Structure 1
Amino acid sequence: MERKNQTTLKEFIFLGLSDDPKLQSLLFALGLMIYVITLTGNLTIIILIQADQHLHTPMYFLLSNLSFTEICYITTTMPKMLWDLLSKDKTISFAGCVIQMYFFLTTAATEGALLSVMAYDRYAAICHPLRYTLLMSQPILKWLLAASWTVGNINAIVNTSFIFSLNFCGSNKIVHFFCDIPPVLHLSCSDTSLAELVTFIISGSIMITTVSLIVLSYILIVSAVLKIHSAQGRIKTFSTCASHLTVVSIFYSTAIFTYMSPSSSHSMEQERLISVLYTIITPFLNPLIYSFKNREMQLAFLNVLGKK
């Protein structure tokens, strides 16, 4: 009888980043520019790696897959956010919210797994240069890529299933610009403790495992680099890891704040601002800090232009 008195929500309403019309116009222009640059930058990386034979190496194979994941990742949230900034209708259907969360969680966890695989790649290249081609052979690369997407899908299936099995019978206003776990849980009129525990265990396990692999890889890398006698040699060797470490720092610091800290420790507004960093800024910065500062990528770009 209690369940019959509860109203099942058919749609949600995004409150977005701002309700100020002037600020919304500014955010739309800025957001559209970031989205176009992100797509262009990451697509350029993929095309350059495919076009230049010198970039047909494990490191660049992984980088092209990271760029593809970044495109999928930002596209799960950005087009809808841009539409809402211009439209008065900021609704999303219940099914649409489920689908958006599923793909967001899939690509987010896949990116985290790929970053740990890329750390392993740097470890293999620096610590075992003579065995590098064996350790990062095509079959191993394909297996690692498949494993990364499998982790992403498991993360999404489990979390999405638990969250949307809850009852939603109160407000349908999401204090966010997309269907993320914390703001959707905030709307449930059920006991969310089990769903929060599942999120903490599943997402936490993925984060702890991937971060641990990254940290272990870099401990071994630093140990190997310190054995190089030349200071210039040490700097040159470790410089190949600098961009990866920057991306890892931005991605994981914001994700851990959102998913691993108690929901009562921060407001929805704080989560909304922090999520801008890992959903929009990280994919935007990836081509800039990971590739276009890379000399081999610059040469590949010039070669492609020269051929044309």
Structure 2
Amino acid sequence: MARTRTARLMDGAGLARRIIDTSAAAAADIHGRTGTAPCLATVLVGEDPASVTYVRMKRARCEKAGIRSRHVALPASISTRGLTEKITELSDDPAVHGILLQHPVGRHIDERAAFEAIAPDKDVDGVTTHSFAAMSFGLPGFVSCTPGGIMRLLDEYDVETAGKHAVVVGRSPILGKPAGMLLLSRNATVTYCHSRTSGLSDIVRQADILVAAVGRPHFITGADIKPGAVVVDAGYHPGNVGDVDHASARDRAALITPVPGGVGPMTIAVLLAQTVEAAGRQLGVS
């Protein structure tokens, strides 16, 4: 089989900057019209180094975009009840427009119960069952940020989804599952796979659009990719590697997201955009 030319990189970092600039302008408009700046509350359980870094980065991006950030640091020993009570308190606070619960939260905590304590109109990370249902039925609400960022990337590069076969490798409730539903809403034919799928490579080779979200480094290689496919790598692992082996994948794909600089920046950009949107709705200026 003849090799395709090296895949074109999908610049998530550049698109994210433009989305954040637009969000910053919208945040300034809301502040000017209401005297209130959009506010995102970040909730962190424990002191996991990666989680601490992610939250710090998100708060810094908020500040640059004119979004206030309220940080709630909770001990790793907190119970499910204690965590849900704190989130409910934030949900009831009119000064908070969006809530981000950084995960994971600890094995002793019922993470789903904690997510469900977030009021739907403040679920700017798109993690509640309400948000998933609204997204699936095309109703008003907030999408999961990483899948939402993926769709914006596909739009930016004029990727046609209607009638295409999209394969999602991963079944996370806040990444793989919503990514497939969003692609389905764009008239793609969607196949869900995961690490235990029998004959996975054969299925992946059928993908016109591949979303890799399985959480394993270099799990998918170039040999698994259909020539000319669009490859979205939503994985991130130590050493700046994703779920896809980019060295081999770039020789077969037409478009591919880099790691880093692809999906990651888009996740934060969508989070900020949805926080500003939530503030506008709650303050009556949307």
Structure 2 length-normalised TM? 0.31
Higher normalized helix content (fraction of residues) = 1
Q: Whose strand fraction is larger, Structure 1's or Structure 2's?
A: 2
